[in-house]
């Protein structure tokens, strides 16, 4: 169990998405988790490219990142709806751990990711 398992269970343990994610990931090998990370990082790189080039959050490039982000979650964890993705976007700017993940890439990236997801 990771240090976050109890927190995740407490926050989302009763949701269908949590159950679907637990079912999928229970069958994953270390290699599967590594591949999931590749897909997640690829989406983050798309956001970083759009942000770094000062593209508007509703630009085709940033919206391609939004789609790649949702597709990676849906592929590896649970069927991620647009509404669920928007909930995640709020967490990316409100939870310091997620904000740090994006802002360590580029200061302001967390807000950009949030805004791009909300713009869809």
Q: How many CB atoms lie within 10 A of CB 73?
A: 21
H runs (alpha helix) in the chain: 5-12, 16-25, 30-52, 60-76, 82-94, 96-103, 109-118
Q: Domains in the chain, start-ordered, CATH in brackets?
A: 29-118 (1.10.490.50)
* Long-range contacts of residues 2-10, Cβ cutoff 8 Å, at least 24 apart: none
Residue 59: pLDDT over 90: yes
Predicted local confidence at residue 16, as pLDDT: 83
Residue 12: pLDDT over 80: no
Predicted local confidence at residue 19, as pLDDT: 87
Predicted local confidence at residue 107, as pLDDT: 97
pTM over 0.75: yes
Distance of CA 51 to the CA centre of its chain: 16
Q: For the CA atoms of the chain, what is the radius of gyration?
A: 14
Closest CA to 69 of 99, 48, 100: 48
Residue 4: pLDDT over 80: no
Taking residues 7-12, what's their average pLDDT? 66
Residues 75-97 have pLDDT tens digits of 999 999 999 999 999 999 999 99
Predicted local confidence at residue 11, as pLDDT: 67
Mean pLDDT of the chain: 92
Hey, is 34 helix, strand or coil? helix
């Amino acid at each position: 169990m990771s240090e976050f398992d109890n927190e995740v269970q407490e926050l989302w343990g009763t949701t269908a998405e949590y159950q679907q994610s637990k079912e999928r990931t229970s069958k994953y090998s270390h290699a599967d988790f590594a591949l999931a990370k590749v897909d997640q990082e690829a989406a983050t790189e798309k956001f970083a490219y759009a942000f770094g080039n000062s593209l508007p959050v509703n630009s085709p490039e940033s919206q391609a990142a939004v789609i790649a982000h949702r597709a990676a979650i849906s592929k590896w964890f649970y069927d991620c709806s647009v509404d669920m993705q928007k909930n995640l976007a709020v967490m990316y700017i409100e939870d310091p751990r997620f904000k740090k993940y994006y802002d360590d890439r580029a200061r302001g990236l967390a807000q950009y990711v949030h805004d791009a997801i909300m713009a869809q």
